Amino acid sequence: MKENKLKTKLKEGKVCLGTFGRLGPAAVEILGHTGWDFVVIDMEHGGFDIPHVEHLLRAARSAGITGLVRVPEPKPVAIMRALDAGAEGVQIPQVETGEEAELVTKAARYYPEGNRGLCSFVRASGYSSTAAPEHIASSNQEVLTVVHIEGQKAAQNAAELVQVPGVDVLFLGPWDLSQSLGIPGQTSHPKVIAVMEEVTEICRKAGVAVGTFITKPEDAKHWADRGIQYLMYSTDAGMMVQVSKDRLQALTAALK
C-alpha cells in the first residue's frame, strides 16, 4: 500500500478537507483535480456495492485524492471488503464502546495488530503483484481507521475510545448526535456543541485526531480553531445541488 497522504498530514497536525462521495467516478475525479484532500465513499447512506466502490477508488487514485469508504455497518466483513477493494481507510459508524472499537480496529489490520482476513489476490495488493509480507506491513502502517461518535453513549465513552490502539480519528456526527439528544437536526444547538467540544478536548489530550461534518464553510474555522483536523463538508451531490441552484439563479437574473 502506498503512503496514505491523508494520514501523514493528520500526524503533522494539518487540517484536511474532504467530502462524502455519493455520485460516481467522474465526481471523485473532479474532487481530486480541484484539490480536496480526501473523499469518503458512502456505503452507509449511498447506493454503492463493492464493484461500484472499486471504480470510485480507481478514480480517486487517478486524480490524486485519498479514497476512504464509510462502511454500512461495524462488521469485520464489511471493513475487510472495503479495504480489499483498495480503500486507504475506513469510516465506521455505530461504534459506542471501547470493546466495539477494538473489534473494528482489529478488523482493519492484519496480525499481529489485528485479525483482518488475509488474501493476496485482491485489488489492495495488486491482485498478488505485491508480496504478501510487504502488503501486510504497509497496510498496517497506512490504513486510516475513523470511528464515528454518533450518540450520547459513544460520547460518554470517548475517554475509553481514544485509548483503543488503531483508532486514528474520532469522527463527531452532529446530525445523529442531535437526534440522540432529542433535538434532531439542530446541529448548532448548545447541547450538541457542548458534547462536541468536550469530546474534542478528550481527543486532543490523548493525541487522537478529531473529525466532524459541516454544512457551512464558515464553520470550518470555528472547529479548526478548537482542534478538529478532519473536516468533512457536505457531499458531492449536495455541492452540485447548491452550485446548480446558484448558477440557475444567476442565469435567470441575467435574462431579466
Number of domains in the chain: 1
Give the N- to C-terminal CA distance of the chain in Å, as an integer. Answer: 55
Q: What is the pLDDT of residue 7?
A: 98
CATH number at residue 247: 3.20.20.60
Q: pTM of the predicted model, to two decimals?
A: 0.95
Instruction: Name the burial class of residue 248, with classes exposed (0-12), middle (13-18) and buried (19+) by CB atoms within 10 angstroms of its CB.
Output: exposed
- pLDDT value at residue 61: 97
Report the pLDDT value the prediction gives residue 131, as an integer from 0 to 100.
Answer: 95
Chunked mean pLDDT (size 10), the chain, 256 residues: 96 97 97 98 95 97 98 97 98 97 98 96 96 96 97 96 97 95 94 95 95 94 95 97 97 96
Structural domain harbouring 197: 5-254
Q: How far apart are the C-alpha atoms of 26 and 250, rounded to whole Å?
A: 25
Enter the C-alpha cell of residue 78. 464489511
Tell me how far apart the alpha carbons of residues 108 and 122 are, in angstroms, rounded to a whole number: 15
From 112, 207, 214, select the one nearest 169 (Cα to Cα).
207
Q: What is the per-residue pLDDT for 105?
A: 98
Hey, is 234 helix, strand or coil?
A: strand
Strands 38-42 and 230-235: unpaired
CA angle 210, 216, 218 (to 5 degrees): 80
